[in-house]
Amino acid sequence: MTSNTDDVFKGIVTECIVVFMINAFTIFAFSRKRHLRKRTTYLIINLTVADLLVGAVAGPLGTYFRNMEIGHGFSWREFIILIFTSIFPLASQANLSLIALERLHATLYPFRHCLVGKWVYFKIIIGSWLVALLLSSVMAFLYLCIKEAIPYAWASHIVITLLIITTSYLIINFNVKSNPLRHHSGSVVSERKLSLTLLIATVVSIMTILPEAVWALIRNDVLDQLSQETGLASIDLSAVVLYYASSIVNPLIYAIRMRHFRKTVKELICKAS
């Protein structure tokens, strides 16, 4: 293993620690103030939990799995490790899509959205984890039995996630701009702020997640033409580092832009000081 690859591995370990700490602090801030735990933040809290587990479980297991000697055929040990390596990133991406769709529903049908009960959110959250478990099981099976299908399955999931987020933002933005007269009340400001938040989330998601999808698709072709000595292993790991970076910025985008959350963070920092 080259020194560059070693440096990237160290970067992944450091990144996992940062991911865990930021998301743990975010969850702590939400737990300190009851008014932060409401319907509009349930999905954000769930996203934060998924991202925390990316840093605490998925990242370290992924690094460990890359250094394992993989046998031929199906193995329950490798299957379980692969599930825990992928389920939390998949759950994080699923929550990004759910947040975008939930905000889209709130923009298009504001009165109907106000009538949505808490249990609907809980059912959606449970459903998102079940879907993530199913997808991670499928990914693990494909990796062990039909490895050549993994890049296409992984890239397809990432592209679908980004498509949902981008489409939702575009519709919200179009809705806000096409109804200027309706958006002069107090609720309009939050819609426009939400529109900007989704724009930031869309751009950041594309910057951090899409390179992993592109690299997954072209990796095998590149490996066929070039040797391992050209630093492709470092490129592969760098794409992983960038992919995990979404678990750092996602909670910051959705949480720090909330005024009450910023106030809570300031209070916690002042008390710590």
Residues 164-174: pLDDT tens digits?
988 888 888 78
Angle between helices 246-256 and 232-244 (to 10 degrees): 20
Q: Identify the pLDDT of residue 129.
A: 96
CA angle 108, 100, 247 (to 5 degrees): 165
pTM for the predicted model, two decimal places: 0.85
Report the distance separating Cα 193 and Cα 125, nearest Å.
24
The pLDDT of residue 11 is above 80: no
**Is a pLDDT exceeding 90 seen at residue 40?**
no
Q: What is the pLDDT of residue 126?
A: 95
Evaluate if residue 3 carries a pLDDT over 70: no
Question: 5-19, 44-58, 213-227, 246-260 — which is least confidently predicted?
Answer: 213-227
Give whole-number Cα distances, 88 to 35, 46, 62, in Å: 27, 11, 11
Distance of CA 215 to the CA centre of its chain: 18
CATH classification of the domain holding 104 = 1.20.1070.10
Kindly state the tokens that stand for 174. Answer: 């179009």
**89-98, 208-217, 239-248: least confidently modelled range:** 208-217
Pinpoint the alpha helices (H) of 109-185. Answer: 110-114, 118-145, 150-178
Q: Are 211 and 242 in contact (CB under 8 A)?
A: yes
Rounded to whole angstroms, the Cα distance separating 96 from 162 reads 9
What is the Rg, in whole angstroms, of the alpha carbon atoms belonging to the chain?
Answer: 20
| 77 compared with 202, residue with greater pLDDT | 77
For residue 174, give the amino acid letter.
F
What is the span of the domain harbouring residue 36? 3-272
User: Minimal CA–CA distance to 62: which of 139, 177, 163, 149?
Assistant: 139
Give the model's pLDDT for residue 46: 93
CA pair distance 273, 270, nearest whole angstrom:
5
Distance from C-alpha of 136 to C-alpha of 215, rounded to nearest angstrom: 19
Average pLDDT of the chain, as a whole number: 80
**Total number of domains constituting the chain:** 1
Do residues 27 and 52 make contact, with C-beta atoms less than 8 angstroms apart?
yes
Does the pLDDT value for residue 203 go beyond 70? yes
Would you say 20 and 55 are in contact if contact means Cβ atoms under 8 Å apart?
yes
